[in-house]
Chain A
Amino acid sequence: MKTYIKPILVSAFVGLFSMTSSAFAEDTLRIVSWGGAYQKGQSLGIFQPAAKAMGITVKEDTYGGISDVKLMVKSGADKFDIFSSGAGSCASGGAEGILEKLDYTVIDNSHLLPDMWSDYCVGADIFSVVAAWNTDTYGENGPRSWADFFDVEKFPGTRAMRSKVDSQLEAALLADGVPMSEVYNVLDSEEGIDRALDKIRSIKDHIAVWWTSGAMHAQLMKDGEVDMTTGWNGRFDVAKRDGAKVSYDWKTGIMDWEGYGIPKGAPQKDLAMKYIAEMQKPKYMAGFAQYITYGPTDKRVYSQGLLDDATARALPSHPDNAKHQLTLKTSWYKKWRTIAAEKYTDMMTE
């Protein structure tokens, strides 16, 4: 019941504030993202420099994901103009009809890597889900493939996997010997999903924790709570910089992208579109990569040499790293997410 009252109150308050928000100057935009090391990088590398270049004010906040966008749009509130979101959430938000279509005559998508934009979101950075290991436990010879991650004889130790289905089934199938090019074909049926789940079931006794956030899996590695975990490469790099004993191999990478979208009916839609166009310039992508190791979606960042070699090589989308990796397929999630997610929870609670 409590969970229910909250949205009502929130929308009531938001309603109140939205009346005053029209008093905002024409040149103010509000953008929301995920907080933490990620948004810090976005803020310093992209949001604020791009705002300065356009001579506008950009106010930042954090949010809880695409369900917040839905709540805002459905209750007719007006809290933010742009949100930063993963490709999969964008796709489902687009299907729900709560997002504005992006205008690619304003936003330049001609230099982006293939499949790095959709009708509703344009990709800004590329991150990878990898298998990270504790270097105190395994030294440099940790699980360098998903087969190793699932091999509890060769690599005894505790593991952590995500409490949500996203990119975990792909890892399981790769471990089960499915070639990269076949992963999504195999997953395109309930049998395929069950095969991946059975693979996870086979090591379930060794999974000590199911993580729920990037901050959590980074902390698990820092504290030595588990010996290996799935997780986002950038978080591990930041943890490593803070002294955590953690390493990973790009051969376990599953690439996914994060980008910007506009909630349906945003009053500042046109300005938001222009601001996204500005943020998508290669120089800002290069700036962002200085703060966290998430790679640019724009090929020119590499071809124009906007990054020094050491920084570039640490990014998931660097050609030498990208060639080993599977790219997450958004359309599969559109079709199978709810079925796969329920089956995954089922497996977790067994």
Chain B
Amino acid sequence: MALIDEHVNEAVLKNLDRKENFTLFGLTVPYLFLIFFLIIIPVGWLFYMSFIGRDGSYSFENYERMVTQKSYIRIFLTTFKISFLTTLICALLGYPLTYFMSQLSRKWAGICMIGVLIPFWTSLLVRTYAWLVLLQRKGLINNIAIDLGFISEPIKFVHNTSGTLIGMAHIMLPFLILPLYANMRAIDKDCLKAAANLGATPTRAFWTVFFPLSIPGLLAGLLIVFVICLGFYVTPAVLGGGKIIMAAMKISSNIELYFSWGAASALGVVLLVVTMLILYIASKLVSIDQIGGNK
């Protein structure tokens, strides 16, 4: 038998490869168009506008202001502090709950999931005001606690950091639970059995086998929560009582104050750049594939 020439199909294969690439590219074209028109152009425009001063000429005044006025740096610090704390609370509450749900039978997990999803589908504004009614000075919680004699003076739950965190954590919790649950469900239970078989205690098996396998879902959830928090407006505005001023709120008040999009877009640009910087650092610490949910 004659030896087969290894290179005989090379040209054909290459051609097929190219064809496939073209097809795939063709499939992404509509999406690329969307990205270009709905993200690249508006963001580019945002950058451009931020360099236009009040009188319509090019200037750095919108950025200068952020350095000279101390309130801007405080507002950014507040924004990141609140977002970080909300993310932390969501992780502490969400991880055990999701773990619990992932261990239940499909039926009971489904029922628990409805409990997660119903608030998720309820209007954000309604939930925010509901917290206000519950938490205020003469609200339900304070009144009941005083009537039962637990406290003598009402506790300041709301119109401050704690109220904002309660409201935001409640609203953001499903964003952590959903990706994490998908991830935990996909973890092969046999891995845990194998760990037990090799002599690991349940605690040991959890920390050395289950937890590392759930990290991609956790990271995905944490990132979604953190990034959405950065742009929050309604909840801190209602539950923060003016003591919590986040970047989005300052953006809207600057439009009113300066009558120029520049003053507002500069804030947007800084928020965008800092957020991208944080994501970049995060991607250095963990591979971006993990964030995407691929193991």
Give residues in A with beta carbon < 8 Å to B. 1-5, 7-8, 65-67, 70, 92, 96, 158, 163-164, 208-212, 223-226, 337-338, 341-342, 345-346, 348-350
Cβ A4 vs Cβ B138 within 8 A: no
B102 within 8 A of A: no
Cβ B259 vs Cβ A2 within 8 A: no
Given contacts A67-B255, A209-B241, contact A3 B43 (CB under 8 A): no
CB-CB contacts below 8 Å: B225-278 with A? 231, 237, 241-243, 245, 248, 250-253, 255-259, 261, 264-265, 268, 272
Q: A residues within 8 A CB of B255?
A: 67
* Selected contact of A208 from candidates B46, B139, B159, B256, CB within 8 Å: B159
Chain B residue nearest to A65 in the complex (CB): B256
Q: B residues within 8 A CB of A96?
A: 259
* Selected contact of B45 from candidates A4, A65, A163, CB within 8 Å: A4
Closest chain-A Cβ to B148's Cβ sits at a distance in Å of 20
Cβ A67 vs Cβ B256 within 8 A: yes
Q: B residues within 8 A CB of A209?
A: 159, 241-242
Report the bound CA distance from A70 to B42 in whole Å. 20
CB-CB contacts below 8 Å: B105-164 with A? 136-139, 156, 159
Closest chain-B Cβ to A220's Cβ sits at a distance in Å of 9
Cβ A345 vs Cβ B45 within 8 A: no
Stretch at the interface among B24-32, B66-74, B202-210: B66-74
Q: B residues within 8 A CB of A67?
A: 255-256, 259
Cβ A224 vs Cβ B137 within 8 A: yes
Report the bound CA distance from A158 to B14 in whole Å. 77
Report the bound CA distance from A338 to B70 in whole Å. 15
Q: B residues within 8 A CB of A337?
A: 257
Closest chain-B Cβ to A215's Cβ sits at a distance in Å of 12
Cβ B264 vs Cβ A3 within 8 A: yes
Q: B residues within 8 A CB of A164?
A: 253
Q: Chain B: how many interface residues by the 8 Å CB criterion?
A: 40
* Selected contact of A348 from candidates B39, B42, B242, B265, CB within 8 Å: B242
B290 within 8 A of A: no
Cβ A349 vs Cβ B74 within 8 A: yes
Chain A residue nearest to B233 in the complex (CB): A3
Cβ B71 vs Cβ A346 within 8 A: yes
Closest chain-B Cβ to A3's Cβ sits at a distance in Å of 6
Give residues in B with beta carbon < 8 Å to A. 38-39, 42-43, 45-46, 65, 69-71, 74-75, 78, 136-139, 156, 159, 231, 237, 241-243, 245, 248, 250-253, 255-259, 261, 264-265, 268, 272
Cβ B258 vs Cβ A345 within 8 A: no
12 contacts between A and B (CB under 8 A): A1-B39, A1-B43, A158-B137, A209-B241, A223-B136, A223-B139, A225-B138, A342-B69, A345-B71, A346-B71, A348-B245, A349-B245
Report the bound CA distance from A268 to B71 in whole Å. 43
Given contacts A65-B256, A163-B242, A338-B257, contact A3 B137 (CB under 8 A): no
Cβ A210 vs Cβ B138 within 8 A: no
Cβ B268 vs Cβ A210 within 8 A: no
Report the bound CA distance from A70 to B261 in whole Å. 11
Cβ A345 vs Cβ B159 within 8 A: no
Cβ A349 vs Cβ B78 within 8 A: yes
Report the bound CA distance from A337 to B254 in whole Å. 12
Report the bound CA distance from A349 to B245 in whole Å. 7
Q: B residues within 8 A CB of A210?
A: 241-243
Chain B residue nearest to A70 in the complex (CB): B259
Cβ B259 vs Cβ A4 within 8 A: no
Closest chain-A Cβ to B173's Cβ sits at a distance in Å of 22
Report the bound CA distance from A145 to B47 in whole Å. 48
Q: A residues within 8 A CB of B237?
A: 212
Report the bound CA distance from A2 to B46 in whole Å. 11
Report the bound CA distance from A92 to B255 in whole Å. 13
Q: B residues within 8 A CB of A338?
A: 257-258
Chain A residue nearest to B248 in the complex (CB): A3
* Selected contact of A342 from candidates B71, B251, B272, CB within 8 Å: B71
Cβ B159 vs Cβ A4 within 8 A: no
A-B contact sample (11 more), CB < 8 A, given A224-B137, A226-B137: A1-B42, A1-B46, A4-B46, A67-B259, A96-B259, A212-B237, A223-B138, A225-B136, A337-B257, A345-B250, A345-B253
Closest chain-A Cβ to B37's Cβ sits at a distance in Å of 11
Given contacts A208-B156, A348-B242, contact A3 B252 (CB under 8 A): yes
